[in-house]
Amino acid sequence: ELGQPLHAFDHARVAGPRIQVRRAAAGERLTTLDGVERKLTPEMLVVADAEVPSGLAGIMGGLASEVTAETRDVLLEGAFWEPTTIRRTSSALGMHTDASHRFERGADPELCARAVTRAAALLAELTDGEVLHGCIDVYPRPFAHPVIDLDHRRLCAFVGVDIAAERVETWLRGLGFELETGGEGSWRVTVPSWRRRDVELVADLYEEVVRLHGYDDIPATLPALAGADGHTTAAHRRATAHRRHLAACGYSEAITFAFHDAEGDRLFPGLQQGAGLELGNALSERYRVMRRSLLPNLIDAARFNQRRGAPAVRLFELGHVFAAGSGGGPDEVVPGVRETETLALVAGGTVGSPWDRSRELDLFDLKGVLESLAAASSVELEARPGDHPALAGGATAELFAGDRPVGYLGRLQGADEPYPLYVAELLTDALAGRVDLSVSAPSRFPGVAADLTLTHALDVSWADIAAAVEAAAPDQLAGFSLKDRYRGKGVPEGAVNTTISFLYSSPSGTLTQEEVNERQGALARELERRFGWKG
């Protein structure tokens, strides 16, 4: 009826005139009602007679004093037990009973006497027995009922609805709370013992009132907020633009942990100067070092997809890396810790459909994505041959913005199965964009295209040729691009044919073929002089 766990002892099997609550002695044993002998410790509470324990407090009674068919006199015991004590004993012994669950969640400290009295009355009524003695209540520290001040005006302001004071009183009294008028529009609310664990603050009383009023009866209103609209910084706008551009190129953004293992830190020491930072409270060896590069964790994500049969991976991450600083630098979030924003990319696999010219991603795809991202930021990146401890020789390049090294790209060593992975990392401040740009309106007249094939040594890079074209370009040259590079039949050993497409245009009229040939010839002679094959 009342939800209070009780225990019944066979009075004839209890030694002595009374029972007591005490700590178990070290090594003391008790066989519980389930027939299992339990070894007790001094941290456990027992209900004992004058000689031995008769039950585990709040969990289960002892077998020696159980009620049987021969029992004539029954001793009823009810108690309030501290939840923490019962939980510890229950966990230590691996015993989980209905009684232990009830006490672990907190019972009513003032219900014991009432429950024992009611149970004794029912026994007497149903068995034609007799209650020999009244209830003996040992209550050394009576429960102090919490008292909470409740203001009607504040209640209505909190709920957002005007609720009549009479209804508030009726609801709270119906829930067992005692209310005493404390002033105009306020009450002193006494919390009943069975609600002591979930009603401690005035907000708990608000919740009771709202629950009875009905959440669905509270109109939905937007809060009135004062203040100006938020704004974004230039760095935030650039980061958003980079993310959108890379997504348009087919890359998916990844967000990885800010730390990795020592091996990843050794292979990828990052683009900034400074030693790695070890965590003093690392979760595991796998997460011991603050990342100096985004690539180790991004490569792990790519391999995770590889192992699960992904035909291609194209991932990027835009985030911060960390290294030891000298103390007091402008990029140090805290003294001795440098924080830098970088961009990392990983690509590999086959893209497209078998019936739609599927092809395998390579280093030039990755380079093209970086160049298009730089072009969108009005920045020029130059790739120069380089090396890196984690990248394959001959397939690694350093990235420069002017004379400043800002990143690298290359093919990852030891990652050719099921397909090779290509990686890149770049300082994002290199993509901040130029402020000295000049633009001109396009010509109203059609341009004239012309191609030029230059035979030159293999060690001459496209960057060198492009720089020479820009230096010698006539005014009417509107643009140029690399069209093809060919090695094979008809090309001398150690040489390569590079085909360049040119577009000539004039704002004053359409150029004639003779004018184009004249300019193209002068440009061809200059390129031949500088780079022509001499073999």
pLDDT tens-place string over residues 94-118: 999 999 999 998 888 888 889 999 9
- Whether residue 334 is predicted with pLDDT greater than 90 in this model: the reply is no
Domain limits, CATH 3.30.56.10, in the chain: 147-216
pLDDT tens-place string over residues 180-238: 987 778 999 999 988 888 898 999 999 999 999 999 999 888 877 776 667 788 889 99
The two beta strands, 477-486 and 382-385, are: unpaired
Query: What pLDDT score was predicted for residue 408?
Result: 95
Q: What is the average pLDDT across 10-24? A: 90
Query: What pLDDT score was predicted for residue 270?
Result: 85
Query: What pLDDT score was predicted for residue 397?
Result: 92
Domain limits, CATH 3.30.70.380, in the chain: 448-531
- Whether residue 29 is predicted with pLDDT greater than 90 in this model: the reply is yes
Neighbouring CB atoms inside 10 A of 527's CB total 19
- Whether residue 133 is predicted with pLDDT greater than 80 in this model: the reply is no
**Domain range 147-216, its CATH number among 3.40.50.720, 3.30.56.10, 3.10.129.10, 3.40.50.300:** 3.30.56.10
End-to-end Cα spacing for the chain: 106
Q: Domain 6-127 in CATH: superfamily?
A: Phenylalanyl-trna Synthetase, Chain B, domain 3 (3.50.40.10)
Query: What pLDDT score was predicted for residue 155?
Result: 93
Query: What pLDDT score was predicted for residue 55?
Result: 93
Residue 42's alpha-carbon distances to 18, 22, 23, 39, in angstroms, are: 22, 9, 6, 10
pLDDT band, residue 357 (cuts 50/70/90): low
pLDDT tens-place string over residues 406-441: 999 999 987 677 899 999 999 999 988 765 667 778
CA–CA separation, 430 and 272 (whole Å): 13
Query: What pLDDT score was predicted for residue 480?
Result: 92
Contacts of 218 by beta carbon, 8 Å cutoff, 6+ apart: 159, 160, 161, 210
Q: Which two tokens stand for residue 341?
A: 């924003």
Contact in structure between 349 and 357 (CB atoms under 8 Å): no
pLDDT tens-place string over residues 469-512: 999 988 889 999 999 999 999 999 999 999 999 999 998 899 99
- DSSP secondary structure of 16-43: SS--EEEEPPTT-EEEBTTS-EEE--TT
Q: What is the average pLDDT across 353-365? A: 79
Q: What is the average pLDDT across 52-81? A: 92
DSSP letter at 189?
A: E
Query: What pLDDT score was predicted for residue 417?
Result: 78
Half-sphere exposure of residue 372, counting CA atoms within 13 Å on the CB side?
15
Q: Domain 448-531 in CATH: superfamily?
A: Ferrodoxin-fold anticodon-binding domain (3.30.70.380)
pLDDT tens-place string over residues 268-322: 988 887 888 888 888 888 888 899 999 999 999 999 999 999 999 999 999 999 9
- Whether residue 379 is predicted with pLDDT greater than 80 in this model: the reply is yes
- Whether residue 328 is predicted with pLDDT greater than 70 in this model: the reply is no
Contact in structure between 424 and 407 (CB atoms under 8 Å): yes
Query: What pLDDT score was predicted for residue 297?
Result: 94
CA–CA separation, 87 and 101 (whole Å): 8
Contacts of 496 by beta carbon, 8 Å cutoff, 6+ apart: 455, 456, 457, 458, 485, 486, 487
Domain limits, CATH 3.30.930.10, in the chain: 235-431
In this structure, of 22-26, 75-79, 180-184, 252-256, the range with the lowest mean pLDDT score is 180-184
- Write down the H helix ranges in 268-421: 295-307, 363-376
| Torsion over CA: 376, 357, 349, 459 (sign) | negative
Query: What pLDDT score was predicted for residue 136?
Result: 84
310's torsion region: left (phi>0), alpha (psi -120 to 50) or beta? beta
Domain limits, CATH 3.50.40.10, in the chain: 6-127
Query: What pLDDT score was predicted for residue 535?
Result: 67
Mean pLDDT, all residues of the chain: 89
Query: What pLDDT score was predicted for residue 207?
Result: 94
- Whether residue 247 is predicted with pLDDT greater than 70 in this model: the reply is yes
Q: 235-431 in CATH: which number? A: 3.30.930.10
pLDDT band, residue 168 (cuts 50/70/90): very high
Query: What pLDDT score was predicted for residue 469?
Result: 93
* Residue whose token pair is 């402020």: 435
Percent of the chain with pLDDT over 90: 58
- Write down the H helix ranges in 268-348: 295-307
